């Protein structure tokens, strides 16, 4: 961030707090806060347009030269919705889909629209190991499963279940599967 931008933000913060940092503006501040979180990508999951994934597939990938026939990895593929969109937009593309959660992986594996993709019931990480994976106790195979229990208990205010998952490094996975490059 440049110095002018920093000065502008500091002045804005000071004046905003002075004028709107009062209880009577609580509702306004709460709505502004929720809007800013959305702008930062928090809870933007309703659909691929809202999340920005549609823009990545149709605009950004094209700008960076991704073409049909390329190799893409979807790490944390869940049930494969994003991968389906990539494969629809870029037919004959080689997809590698990674989903460590057993329930989500079974749905991913059985989706006939993803028959052309390679699917793996593992997580990718910094070491080859087994780790504890946490999910919501009330929803088996939620889209919010995480290596951090606080993501479920703190953010979603839900009880957690613990699942042990296999983790591989990207390098070891590519070496074993003879993948020489990844386009996306």
- Residue 148 pLDDT: 84
- Residue 173 pLDDT: 97
Q: For residue 92, which of 77, 75, 108, 71 has the smallest C-alpha distance?
A: 71
Q: State the CB neighbour count (10 A cutoff) for residue 175.
A: 11
> Is residue 43 pLDDT above 70, yes or no?
no
Q: Where are the domains of the chain?
A: 66-176
Q: For residue 74, which of 120, 143, 129 has the smallest C-alpha distance?
A: 120
Q: Are strands 123-124 and 118-120 parallel, antiparallel or unpaired?
A: unpaired
Measured CA to CA in angstroms, residue 10 lies from 5, 68, 147, 158 at distances of 9, 46, 36, 37
- Residue 163 pLDDT: 92
- Residue 45 pLDDT: 65
CB 157 within 8 A of CB 131: no
- DSSP code per residue over 31-79: HHHHHHHHHTTTT--SSHHHHSHHHIIIIIHHHTT--TT-EEEEET-TT
Q: How many residues are present in the chain?
A: 184
How does pLDDT run across 57-77, given as a tens digit for each residue? 999 988 888 888 899 999 999
Q: What 8-state DSSP symbol labels residue 139?
A: S
How does pLDDT run across 101-147, given as a tens digit for each residue? 999 999 999 999 999 999 999 999 999 999 998 988 888 777 778 88
Q: Which CATH number fits domain 66-176: 3.40.1160.10, 3.30.1330.10, 3.30.460.10, 3.40.50.150?
A: 3.40.50.150
- DSSP code per residue over 78-144: TTSHHHHHHHHHSTT-EEEEE---HHHHHHHHH-GGGTTSEEES-EE-SSSEEEEEEEETTSTT-TT
């Amino acid at each position: 961030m440049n110095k002018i931008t920093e000065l502008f933000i500091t002045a804005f913060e000071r004046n905003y707090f002075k004028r709107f940092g009062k209880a009577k503006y609580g509702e306004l501040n709460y709505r502004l806060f929720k809007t800013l979180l959305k702008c930062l990508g928090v809870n933007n999951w309703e659909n691929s347009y809202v999340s920005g994934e549609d823009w990545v597939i149709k605009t950004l990938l094209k700008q960076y030269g991704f073409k049909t026939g390329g190799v893409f990895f979807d790490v944390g593929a869940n049930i494969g919705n994003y991968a389906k969109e990539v494969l629809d937009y870029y037919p004959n593309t080689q997809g590698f889909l990674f989903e460590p959660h057993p329930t989500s992986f079974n749905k991913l594996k059985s989706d006939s629209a993803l028959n052309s993709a390679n699917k793996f019931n593992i997580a990718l990480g910094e070491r080859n190991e087994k780790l504890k994976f946490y999910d919501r106790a009330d929803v088996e195979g939620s889209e919010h499963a995480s290596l951090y229990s606080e993501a479920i208990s703190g953010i979603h205010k839900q009880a957690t279940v613990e699942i042990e998952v296999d983790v591989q490094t990207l390098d070891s996975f590519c070496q074993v599967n003879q993948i020489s490059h990844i386009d996306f």
